[in-house]
A and B are shown apart, each in its own frame.
Chain A
């Protein structure tokens, strides 16, 4: 017998936070700041060393700005704030971002 949609729905919504997005959600702001797409850039987490592409970082769109976290250790990799005048990027949580030359 199949589980009902409602039963699974409750289990799913309790286990995963649907408000957490990924680096794709901040792609435009990052592209405007860096001058080119950043979502395909691998980045090394300064906390745990895991390398993930920016598009895979977990995005918390906190009201004041966006916080992109390592999918492995949840450490902050990038922070982005767009004010009316400027875009701020804090990349201290990234040991590096790699921009491949095609």
Chain B
């Protein structure tokens, strides 16, 4: 399995390969002012790698919908046209993947999760959202982590409709968390009282995934 990893600071017993540096961007330079924008252990990239846990879903816009249900007074559902009619805005954010790459100033357009949650009334014991996608992927977040501009559902990237390979028609984007929390092909959020570790959170990855605290693996 080809992948890039970095040892935690306390683990140093590893054979070092003479002359190997790897093809990575700088950790960020103080001249360009980017160093402070690159989380610990990350490297800058200008690519936008496409990696996936399964075949690319091809949901037609005629059948697409976004649903919020679970611990809400009344579930809400938007079809594609209704979703596009919601107040939308441009987001320019930095993204970090747990495999080390960080991409600065990614331009998205979509609907803030705040706007989506305005459409529902949360039950008193609502505490978490489980975002779910076509193809079966899930990821979990505390409600507090998706409010106040911290998360949005994007349908455009770089001025163009989001391609299926990058998660289109729409994907969740949570810039403050490693990119596995930004669920591609998102179709809804289920509100719960208890946390439910999602696809990768249940298999060794950190439940919260804050890249500034380097929360990569469970136990970090």
Contact surface of A with B, Cβ cutoff 8 Å: 17, 19-20, 25-26, 28-29, 60-67, 69, 74, 76, 79-86, 88, 90
Contact = CB atoms under 8 A, between A and B. Distances in A.
Given A84-B7, A85-B219, A63 B98 contact: yes
B101 to A, nearest CB: 9
A28 B217 CA distance: 21
Interface size on B, as a range, is: 20 to 34
B51 A80 contact: no
A59 to B, nearest CB: 8
A86 B54 contact: no
Contacts of A66: 1
A64 B201 CA distance: 10
Given A80-B1, A85-B219, A62 B53 contact: yes
Given A25-B1, A84-B11, A90-B203, A63 B180 contact: yes
17 contacts: A17-B56, A19-B52, A29-B1, A60-B53, A61-B2, A62-B51, A64-B180, A67-B53, A67-B54, A74-B54, A76-B136, A80-B1, A81-B204, A84-B7, A85-B217, A86-B204, A88-B203
